[in-house]
């Protein structure tokens, strides 16, 4: 059965405040049954607060509207992000005075407040679910939709899998893919053909001549493998999807700490940039602002968000100089990062987190 996804478009039909995105967002929130989800509940609002010179995270106007709506529904909200990230919130204007709720480190001040959960996926045997998530009664996964070098897209799944766990678990999810790239030091004669043929600039060599790959920038194009005259490089292609599968499975472990019907997913599709907000800077929008999607189904939310970011709407010249669009067909983030952004959605659906079929209900 198709899941309902509410959609507030960023397009403005008439030049009046009621036709703009914050007003539509408020009407979207008013139309949801927040009382049944949040009344008398302690509600975690999971955000990515960005850092340093970044200016394209979710605008505080939207955070303030969401916090007010949760309070109106009888809930007690708090904003949360990584234990070592929340100090950066003030730099983007997220303060309690502005947004109306406190901002708490997700795993306590030292990232030592967590609950261990087994997931037994390859080398990821267990994950540390952050204490401020596991001990909350309800959650709003309030995500900024943008590109991501490791998984193509950073939306709701990434916000949970990378953001609702400890730093140690985040590293172990990344390590799911790190193990799948191999280099034969005995065969390599340091001709650097691989480095010259790498379109992502991902390959470097240490002073000691050790081959290194910055996986974030790797597009898995296999050029290094095929261009190496000594067959010194190998990539196990099936390993490419382990990171994304690991994210979906971690997401499930986090969501299992909540009772049914206690989690709402809202993804803000404005300032859609190629890089994650963790980089500490912003680059121009790749496409015109899309709007906001919301649902109680994470898979439908993620699928709808991705479907709404269209390669044909790409704004020429918006990509930073180091990045380029691949010529083959596919999603915009596939063309930029060479990683299928739908993989984590596919796995999330397979493990029962929701439906990829959705029906859009547009907010007027």
**Residues at the interface with ligand SF4 (CB under 6 A):** 188-194, 197-200, 202-203, 211, 213, 218-224, 228, 230, 232-233
With CA atoms as reference, report the closest residue to 187 among 236, 237, 233. 233
With CA atoms as reference, report the closest residue to 293 among 285, 301, 282. 301
CB of 284 to ligand SF4, least distance (A): 23
CB of 149 to ligand SF4, least distance (A): 11
CB of 338 to ligand SF4, least distance (A): 7
What is the DSSP secondary structure assignment for residue 277, as one 8-state letter? G
CB of 183 to ligand SF4, least distance (A): 6
CB of 244 to ligand SF4, least distance (A): 16
Instruction: State whether the Cα torsion 266-271-277-280 is positive or negative.
Output: negative
User: Is the CB of 11 or the CB of 190 nearer to ligand SF4?
Assistant: 190
User: Is the CB of 35 or the CB of 189 nearer to ligand SF4?
Assistant: 189
Bridge partners, 234 (sequence order): 182
User: Is the CB of 112 or the CB of 189 nearer to ligand SF4?
Assistant: 189
User: Is the CB of 6 or the CB of 150 nearer to ligand SF4?
Assistant: 150
User: Is the CB of 204 or the CB of 313 nearer to ligand SF4?
Assistant: 204
Give the chain's largest Cα–Cα span: 68
Helix, strand, or coil (residue 82): coil
Chain-centroid distance, C-alpha 203: 25
SS3 track for 105-150: ECCCCCCCCEEEEEEEECCEEEEEEEHHHHCCCEEEEEEECEEECC
């Amino acid at each position: 059965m198709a899941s309902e996804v509410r959609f507030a478009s960023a397009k403005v039909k008439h030049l009046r405040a009621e036709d703009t995105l914050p007003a539509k967002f408020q009407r979207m929130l008013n139309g949801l049954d927040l009382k049944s989800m949040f009344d008398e509940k302690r509600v975690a609002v999971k955000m990515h607060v960005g850092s340093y010179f970044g200016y394209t995270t979710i605008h505080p106007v939207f955070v303030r509207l969401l916090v007010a709506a949760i309070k109106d529904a009888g809930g007690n909200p708090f904003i949360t992000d990584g234990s070592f990230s929340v100090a950066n919130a003030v730099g983007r204007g997220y303060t309690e005075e502005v947004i109306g709720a406190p901002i708490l480190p997700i795993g306590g001040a030292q990232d030592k407040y967590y609950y261990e959960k087994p997931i037994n996926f390859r080398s990821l045997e267990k994950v540390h679910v952050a204490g401020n998530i596991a001990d909350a009664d309800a959650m709003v996964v309030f995500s900024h939709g943008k590109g991501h070098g490791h998984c193509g897209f950073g939306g709701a799944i990434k916000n949970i899998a990378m953001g609702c766990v400890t730093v140690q678990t985040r590293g172990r999810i990344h390590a799911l893919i790190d193990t799948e790239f191999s280099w034969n030091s005995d065969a390599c004669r340091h001709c650097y053909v691989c480095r010259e043929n790498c379109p992502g600039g991902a390959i470097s060599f240490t002073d000691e001549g050790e081959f290194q790959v910055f996986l974030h920038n790797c597009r898995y194009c296999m050029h290094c493998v095929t261009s190496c005259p000594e067959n010194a490089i190998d990539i196990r292609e099936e390993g490419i999807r382990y990171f994304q599968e690991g994210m979906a499975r971690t997401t499930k472990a986090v969501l299992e700490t909540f009772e049914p019907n206690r989690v709402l997913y809202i993804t803000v599709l404005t300032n859609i940039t190629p890089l994650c907000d963790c980089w500490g800077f912003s680059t121009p929008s790749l496409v015109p602002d899309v709007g906001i999607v919301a649902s109680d189904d994470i898979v439908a939310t993620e699928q709808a968000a991705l479907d709404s970011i269209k390669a044909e709407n790409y704004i020429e010249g918006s990509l930073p100089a180091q990045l380029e669009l691949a010529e083959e067909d596919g999603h915009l983030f596939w063309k930029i990062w060479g990683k299928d952004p739908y993989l984590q959605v596919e796995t999330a659906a397979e493990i029962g987190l929701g439906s990829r079929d959705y029906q859009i209900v547009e907010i007027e």
